[in-house]
């Protein structure tokens, strides 16, 4: 595809709240990798919701409804359809787009509970879809060369490009047109990057879309929205606003930004304590607390002597079946999404149903995990290209090497769900600890209690080992009887340290 220099027609006036009001507004949930990383889930396919045409406005004011606190902005690029599109393919999809303009997909998180995913109440209010007054001609730009920026009270809070979108614009147009006739004037909101947050009365949000590398560097200019106190009371005849800490964290972008106590974290101090004790000791302490099925059985390290400590992200394979592999095995499948979504300190735990006769990860995806900062990989299946994976220096546990690709036994199916791996239940966020003895899964709420007890246990065992080395019999010493415990209390604190 080539992009023309349309010097006299690159920009055109747009009256979104008047003569150019769209017949329908279709909004995409997730698209930018930066936002996907915040949300912690990578979509397999684009998913959408509708916004009423009455939500469309231009630059001006937006009212925060009475009794709500979580009005959030989302700076976005809006596609304006120029020619009707029904059943088009990706190669021709962009030719049906008139151009792009700035948009702000406002929403009130207080009203999400009643929506059940529709977003009608939370994002459909009058004025909740400001659109810019300038459209950049689609013929003059590369859709992968656009920039989106958002300012709040003059400070840049969103700055991203369309170069790495999970779902390019032509895919969105082609996808929607398979079931929905896109008519001239219709608008597609294409997702927001990281940085979306909450604003309140008195604040001003500005959004601009430009093509800095295109001829003339066309820009929509700034779409300006001022937040004011509203007069309407949502819920007078239906569901009232409901707010909890989860909604606050999502609206603000994080628990910290919302002023909430941060969720449980695997801090450097916790890591250091976990690294100081053996999995064997941790296992015995877990068993004392009734957790006797926390070991991932049947797996061995490819890097002996290297500790593995991190938080679980999960990938589930199901048994191979030709039709299911055809629908779920290609493209940006669950396996690729899992590796592409890893963050620093994550351990990808793979449910391969104990099937060792094929690979579940190879050198390219293992490299991607390392580049993303992952702490390691655990699979109860095989590893392909095991020599190359070992050379990466990334801690990994498996049943061994196998040359076959995953399609031989597996279909990649789910990410970040509760799985079984080596006989152990694993949930996203669980703490994974591995050494030469094996791998343990520790629920986060048990970590502090278990690791402190494990440290104390190993100190006792060091004392016992020192006495055995001196010739003492193990009877009464291991485990210690009352006499030995008393002696340990008086001299064990410094023994062997």
Distance CA 289, CA 270 (A): 19
Strands 204-210 and 308-319: what pairing? Answer: unpaired
Interhelix angle for 482-491 vs 444-469, to 10°? 100
Q: Transcribe 2-59 into DSSP letters.
A: -----TTTSEEE--TTTTT--S-EEEES---HHHHHHHT---SS--EEEE-GGGEE-S
Tell me the CA distances in angstroms from 220 to 8, 98, 210, 229, 312, one per residue in order: 15, 14, 6, 28, 43
Bridge-based pairing of strands 308-319 and 346-351 is parallel
The correct answer on CATH 3.30.1600.10 for the domain covering 292-442 is no
Pairing mode, if any, of strands 204-210 and 346-351? unpaired
In the three-class reduction of DSSP (H, G, I as helix; E, B as strand; rest coil), residue 411 is classed as strand
Q: What is the predicted pLDDT for the residue at 301?
A: 97
Contacts of 487 (CB under 8 A, 6+ apart): none
Which of 456, 477, 476, 455 minimizes the C-alpha distance to 466? 477
Q: Compute the chain's Rg from CA coordinates.
A: 28
Element (H, E) at 121: helix 120-123
Residue with tokens 């002597």: 305
End-to-end CA distance of the chain: 70
Which residues make Cβ contacts (< 8 Å) with residue 429, sequence separation at least 6? 264, 311, 312, 444
- Cα dihedral 83→89→91→96 (10° resolution): 10
Distance from C-alpha of 226 to C-alpha of 66, rounded to nearest angstrom: 16
Query: How do the pLDDT tens digits run along the chain, 497 residues long?
Result: 334 443 446 789 999 989 999 999 999 999 998 898 887 777 889 999 999 999 999 999 999 999 999 999 999 999 999 999 999 999 999 999 999 999 999 999 999 988 877 899 999 999 999 999 999 999 999 999 999 999 999 999 999 999 989 999 999 999 999 999 999 999 999 999 999 999 999 999 999 999 999 999 999 999 999 999 998 888 888 888 999 888 998 999 888 888 887 778 999 999 999 999 999 999 999 999 999 999 999 999 999 999 999 999 999 999 999 999 998 888 888 899 899 889 999 999 999 999 999 999 999 999 999 999 999 999 999 999 999 999 999 999 999 999 998 888 999 999 888 999 999 999 999 999 999 999 999 999 999 999 999 999 999 999 999 999 999 999 999 989 999 988 988 886 555 44
Residues 208, 146: Cα–Cα separation, whole Å: 10
Contacts of 21 (CB under 8 A, 6+ apart): 15, 53, 56, 185
- Structure confidence at residue 427 (pLDDT): 94
**Geometric angle at alpha carbon 270, from 265 and 274, rounded to 5°:** 130
Structure tokens given for 32 = 């930018």
55: tokens are: 């939500």
Asked whether this chain's domains 11-252 and 292-442 adopt the same fold, the reply is no
Q: DSSP 3-state assignment of 345?
A: coil
DSSP category for residue 147:
E
- Within 8 A by CB and 6+ apart from 383, the residues are 302, 359, 360, 361, 362, 366, 389, 396, 398, 400, 401, 402
Q: Report the pLDDT value the prediction gives residue 325, as an integer from 0 to 100.
A: 92
Write down the architecture of domain 11-252 according to CATH.
Alpha-Beta Complex (3.90)
Question: H or E segment at 312?
Answer: strand 308-319
What residue ranges do the domains of the chain occupy?
A: 11-252, 292-442, 447-491
Give pLDDT, residue 23: 96
Q: Whose CA is closest to 12, among 82, 107, 105?
A: 82
- Helical pair 444-469 and 268-275, crossing angle rounded to 10 deg: 30
- The Cα 248–Cα 258 span in angstroms is 6
């Amino acid at each position: 595809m080539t992009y023309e220099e349309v010097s006299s027609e690159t920009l055109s006036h747009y009256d979104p709240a008047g003569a150019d009001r769209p017949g329908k507004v279709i909004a995409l949930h997730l698209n930018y990798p930066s936002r996907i990383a915040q949300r912690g889930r990578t979509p397999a396919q684009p998913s959408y919701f509708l916004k009423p045409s009455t939500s469309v406005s231009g630059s001006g004011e937006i009212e925060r409804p009475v009794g709500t606190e979580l009005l959030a902005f989302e700076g976005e690029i809006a596609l304006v359809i120029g020619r009707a599109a029904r059943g088009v393919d990706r190669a021709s999809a962009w030719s049906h787009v008139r151009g792009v303009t700035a948009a702000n997909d406002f929403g009130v998180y207080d009203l999400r509970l009643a929506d059940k995913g529709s977003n009608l109440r939370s994002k459909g209010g009058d004025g909740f879809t400001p659109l810019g007054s300038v459209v950049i001609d689609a013929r003059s730009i590369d859709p992968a060369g656009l920039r989106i920026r958002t300012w709040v009270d003059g400070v840049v809070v969103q700055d991203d490009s369309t170069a790495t979108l999970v779902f390019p614009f032509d895919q969105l147009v082609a996808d929607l047109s398979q079931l929905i006739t896109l008519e001239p004037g219709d608008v597609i909101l294409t997702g927001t990057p990281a940085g979306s947050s909450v604003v309140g009365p008195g604040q001003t949000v500005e959004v601009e879309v430009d093509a800095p590398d295109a001829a003339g560097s066309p820009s929509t200019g700034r779409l300006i929205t001022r937040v004011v106190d509203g007069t309407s009371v949502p819920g007078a005849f239906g569901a009232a606003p409901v707010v909890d800490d989860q909604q606050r964290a999502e609206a603000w972008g994080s628990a910290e930004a919302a002023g909430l106590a941060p969720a449980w974290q695997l801090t450097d101090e916790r890591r250091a304590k976990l690294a100081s004790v053996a999995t064997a000791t941790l296992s015995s302490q877990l068993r004392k607390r009734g957790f006797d099925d926390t070991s991932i059985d049947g797996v061995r390290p490819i890097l002996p002597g290297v500790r593995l400590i991190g938080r679980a992200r999960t990938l589930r394979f199901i048994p191979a079946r030709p039709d299911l592999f055809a629908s779920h095995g290609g493209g940006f499948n669950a396996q690729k999404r899992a590796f592409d979504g890893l963050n620093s300190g994550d351990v990808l735990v793979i449910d391969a149903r104990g099937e060792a006769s094929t690979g579940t990860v190879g050198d390219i995806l293992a490299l991607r995990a390392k580049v993303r900062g992952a702490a390691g990989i655990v699979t109860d299946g095989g590893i392909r290209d095991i020599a190359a994976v070992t050379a990466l220096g990334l801690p990994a546990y498996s049943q061994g090497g196998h040359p076959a690709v995953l399609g031989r036994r597996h279909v990649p199916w789910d990410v970040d769900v509760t799985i079984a791996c080596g006989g152990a239940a694993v949930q996203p966020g669980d703490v994974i600890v591995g050494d030469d003895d094996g791998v343990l899964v520790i629920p986060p709420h048990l970590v502090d209690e278990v690791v402190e007890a494990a440290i104390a246990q190993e100190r006792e065992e060091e004392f016992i080992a020192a006495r055995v080395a001196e010739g003492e019999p193990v009877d009464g010493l291991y485990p210690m009887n009352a006499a030995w415990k008393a002696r340990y209390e008086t001299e064990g604190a410094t023994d062997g340290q």
